[in-house]
Amino acid sequence: ANGNGSQDACVAANTPNECDIQTTPAPIRMQIKLPSSTGSITVDRWGMLSHTGGAATPTSMAFELMPKDKTLSDASAAKLCTGTGGRIVRVKGNQACP
């Protein structure tokens, strides 16, 4: 992340740092939510995604995407459901993940 070609210690206060691979803000007219999240997504050495920060890797994640100031019941809202195998499924915003 800092261009030196080696993995350095993760010091979150340094910018750029080795903690974040990429940070991208949501588009200004869109909301993206990840319920029960600590605010970041991590990938472990086996490629498993986690958003809880706990010792246990969650079995799934559901990204909620909707227009700004709208809810999941809005016609243009969507939910991206991911499982442990990396499969991504798009469902309507108010539907449950499979």
pTM for this prediction: 0.64
Please tell me the predicted confidence (pLDDT) of residue 17: 63
Give, rounded to a whole angstrom, the gap between the first and last alpha carbons of the chain: 36
pLDDT tens figures, 11-66:
767 766 667 777 777 788 999 888 877 677 777 777 777 776 665 666 778 889 99
Confidence of residue 7 (pLDDT cuts 50, 70, 90): low
Q: Which of 61, 57, 32, 33 is nearest to 43 (CA)?
A: 57
Q: Looking at the predicted structure, is the pLDDT value of residue 5 above 70?
A: no
CA 57 – CA 97 distance, rounded (Å) = 18
